[in-house]
Structure 1
C-alpha cells in the first residue's frame, strides 16, 4: 500500500500567548496570580501573551505544573507559531525576489538541463537559488557583484550580471568533477609550450587531453556555452589556493579566438593574484593586467621573433601561412587571427584556414 503524506502549512499564526490568556480566563486566574504561582514576572508574561517573547522549555515546565497542560503542548504551539511567522516572512521576501528572477535566463538554463522549470514562479525561484547554492537573493548580492572582476573588451551589448553569474556558477559546478593535483606554477608554465600542439587537433581530441594535462598541474579547464546577455568568452579564478579554474565559452566559435582566450587566461593565472577574478568579454576594469595577459598569449602562441620575421617577409598568402604555422607547430588559423588582429591582413582574407567549432548536445 502506498502511503501519501499530506503536508498542511497554514497561512495564519496564533500566538501561544493568546491560548495562555484563554486558559487563564477559563480558570478565572489573573495574570498576577499566574506570575505569583510560576515565578514568571508580570512583564514577561505580558510579552508572552502579546507574542513578543517565546515560550521556552523552562517556561513550559512551569506552566505544566501550574495549569496542568503538558510541556509538549506549549512547545508545539510555540514551534508552529514561529514556523508560520518565518514562512510568511520568507514568502514576502521571495515575492520581492521574483523581480530579480526576471533577469536570470531561466528558460535557457532549463533548456540546457541546468535546472528544471516548474510552472509555479516561486518554485522556479527556489530551483534557481539552489543552482546558485544560496539561501536568498540577498546572498547573491553579496557573492557575485562584489567579485574583483577585470574585463578584456569594451562592452558592445547589454550584459546582465545575473546571467553572467549563472554562467560562472555552471563552470564552478563543472570544475568540481575534475580532480586536480595541487597547483604547480613552474610545471604549468612549462606545460603551456607543449599545449600549442593541441591547436592542430579537433575538439574531440584536444578537449579531454587539455583538461587532463592542465589538471595535473592544478588547473581545471571547463567549457560552458555562453548564456544570453553575457557576452563572455572566458574567465579565470581561483577556487582554492591550490586549484585554479579556466572557463571557456567558445563565444566566437573559431580556433584562433578559443586558443588565444585560453592562453590569455593562463597568463592571468601565472602573472596575477589568486584573489582576483578575470572575466573576458565585457567592460575592462584593469587594462594593464589585460594587456599583460594579451602579450603573454601572443608570445606563447607565436614567439615574437618568429612572428616578426614572418611579417617582414610580407608573404600572407594561404600557402605561406600554412608553411609558417607548420614550422612553429600551431594551427594556421591562429596565425590568420593574429595577422587580422594587428591589421596586417583584412578580416575577410584567409578565413578558410580557421577551424570552426560548434557546441553539441
Structure 2
C-alpha cells in the first residue's frame, strides 16, 4: 500500500477512499492498518488545512455565503433541499443536512463535501473518536453503507449535533445503571440510532407530561396478557406522545433500555430485548416509563439501564424501580398473595389471573424479591419477547 503526500484533489479523494476501506476493517491498535490509518488522517488534515485554512467553514455559513455570491433566494434552494419549509429549517439550523441535500448542494452549488460534512465535526472533536467506532457492526446492521461511507457516517450523528447537542447534554445530565463498563463509541452509536429512528416518524402526537399517570401505566400492564400485547402497549404509548423504539443493543453496551427526555421533543424509550424474556421486557418498559412520570423536566434527561442490576444507590433509579413494581403488582395485592410466600408456579399463575396480567410479570417479581433466578424458568417467557418484532435481525 503506497502512501504519498496529498498534493491535489485527486490525491485527496483517493486518500479519503482508502480511509473508508481501512475503517471498514476496524483495525486493532498498533497493527500496520491502524498505523496507515493514522498516517492518512494526518496527511488529510494537512491537505485540508492548506486548502480550507485552519478552520473549515460552518456548512450553513458557507451556504449563506454562496447564496450571497450568486444572488440566490431561499426559494432557489428548494431544488437542492426539497421544500420551502425544509429550506427554512436548514437555514435556521433546526434541520441537519441530509445525505441527499449534501450531494445536491455539492453538485449544484459547488460547495465542497468537506465543508458540508463539517456539521458533525463538533461531535467528533467533543466526544467520539471516529477511529474507534464499531464500523463493522454499523455496516452489518445497515446503519451506514460502504458506497456512501463518508456522507453516511457524518449524517448518522446529525441528531446528536443540533442546537440541543445531545452528547454535550449527556455529559452533564445522564445516568448509567450498569455493573459493567460500557464501550463509549458503541454506546454513542446506539443512542444515535434511536434518535435517527425517532426522527423518521412522520406523525408524532404532541407530548403532554400530565398524561403519564399511574392509571396510564396500569393500562400498559393490563395489555401484557392480551394477544399482541407488546405491540398494543407500544401503540398506546405512541398515542400519548411517548416514542418507543426497539433496537438491539450494540456489543459491549449491556443495556436493557433507556429513556431520552429532551425539552420540547417527544420522550424516546429505547428497548434492546437483549435477554428476550417477557418478565424483563415488561419491567424495563415500565421502569423507563416511570422515569418519564417522575423525572421529566427535572435535570437528568437521559437514563440508560441494565434493569437486572439491583445494587443501585441512585435515588432516581430506586424511585423508578419502586413505581414500576407498584404499578405492575400493587403492594397490598402482593403481600396478600401466596406468591409472596410460596415460590411455586401455581401461586404465580393464580395472582396473575387475579390481576389479569401475564404470569411472567408475577414470576419475575418472585425471582426478584428472592434474588434467586433458577426457578420459575417456564413462566418468565424466555424466547417470547422478540417474536413481536419479526422484522428485526437479531443475529
**TM-score normalized by the length of structure 1:** 0.65
Q: Partners of 1:262 and 1:211 in 2: how far apart?
A: 9
Partner of 2:302: 277
Partner of 2:139: 110
Offset of 1:262 from its aligned partner? 0.8
Counterparts of 1:241-280 in structure 2 under 5 Å?
Answer: 241=264, 243-274=266-297, 275=299, 276-280=301-305
Counterparts of 1:82-93 in structure 2 under 5 Å?
Answer: none
Partner of 2:212: 188
Offset of 1:140 from its aligned partner? 8.6
Residues 285-325 of structure 1 show CA distances to partners (whole Å, capped at 9, x for unaligned) of 97000000000110011111111112586232212211111
Offset of 1:147 from its aligned partner? 4.8
Q: Partners of 2:11 and 2:169 in 1: how far apart?
A: 33
Larger mean CA deviation between 247-256 and 173-182 belongs to 173-182
SS of 2:350's equivalent?
A: helix
Partner of 1:290: 317
Over 3 Å counting, the alpha-carbon distance change for 1:281 and 1:162 in structure 2 is: same
Higher relative contact order (CA 8 A, sep 6+): 1
SS of 1:221's equivalent?
A: strand
1:347 and 2:390 are equivalent in the alignment:
no
Larger mean CA deviation between 172-181 and 107-116 belongs to 172-181
Q: Is the 8 A contact 2:156 2:196 kept in 1?
A: no
Offset of 1:240 from its aligned partner? 4.0
Counterparts of 1:135-284 in structure 2 under 5 Å?
Answer: 143=168, 146-155=171-180, 158-176=181-199, 177=201, 179-189=203-213, 190-201=215-226, 205-241=228-264, 243-274=266-297, 275=299, 276-281=301-306
Which of residues 342, 347, 367 in structure 2 aligns to 1:320? 347
Q: Partners of 1:135 and 1:340 in 2: how far apart?
A: 38
Q: Is the 8 A contact 1:257 1:337 kept in 2?
A: yes
Q: Is the 8 A contact 2:312 2:318 kept in 1?
A: no
Q: Partners of 1:223 and 1:199 in 2: how far apart?
A: 17
Offset of 1:142 from its aligned partner? 5.4
Q: Partners of 1:222 and 1:337 in 2: how far apart?
A: 23
Over 3 Å counting, the alpha-carbon distance change for 1:103 and 1:200 in structure 2 is: farther
Offset of 1:332 from its aligned partner? 1.0
Partner of 2:44: none
SS of 2:254's equivalent?
A: coil
Over 3 Å counting, the alpha-carbon distance change for 1:242 and 1:252 in structure 2 is: same
Q: Partners of 2:367 and 2:131 in 1: how far apart?
A: 39
Q: Partners of 1:101 and 1:336 in 2: how far apart?
A: 43
Which of residues 357, 367, 372 in structure 2 aligns to 1:330? 357
**TM-score normalized by the length of structure 2:** 0.59
Q: Is the 8 A contact 1:151 1:290 kept in 2?
A: no
Over 3 Å counting, the alpha-carbon distance change for 1:320 and 1:233 in structure 2 is: same
Q: Partners of 2:167 and 2:219 in 1: how far apart?
A: 40
Which has more radius of gyration?
Answer: 1
Offset of 1:126 from its aligned partner? 4.4
Counterparts of 1:69-80 in structure 2 under 5 Å?
Answer: none
5+ long unaligned stretches in structure 2: 1-7, 13-52, 55-110
Offset of 1:125 from its aligned partner? 5.0
Q: Partners of 1:271 and 1:288 in 2: how far apart?
A: 11
Q: Partners of 1:135 and 1:232 in 2: how far apart?
A: 19
Offset of 1:135 from its aligned partner? 10
Over 3 Å counting, the alpha-carbon distance change for 1:237 and 1:154 in structure 2 is: same
Offset of 1:179 from its aligned partner? 2.8
5+ long unaligned stretches in structure 1: 1-7, 13-50, 53-82
Offset of 1:273 from its aligned partner? 3.5
Count, aligned residues: 271
Which of residues 140, 155, 168 in structure 2 aligns to 1:130? 155
Q: Partners of 2:343 and 2:363 in 1: how far apart?
A: 9
Offset of 1:143 from its aligned partner? 3.6
Q: Partners of 1:296 and 1:267 in 2: how far apart?
A: 6
> RMSD of the TM alignment (CA)?
3.7
Q: Partners of 1:300 and 1:328 in 2: how far apart?
A: 11
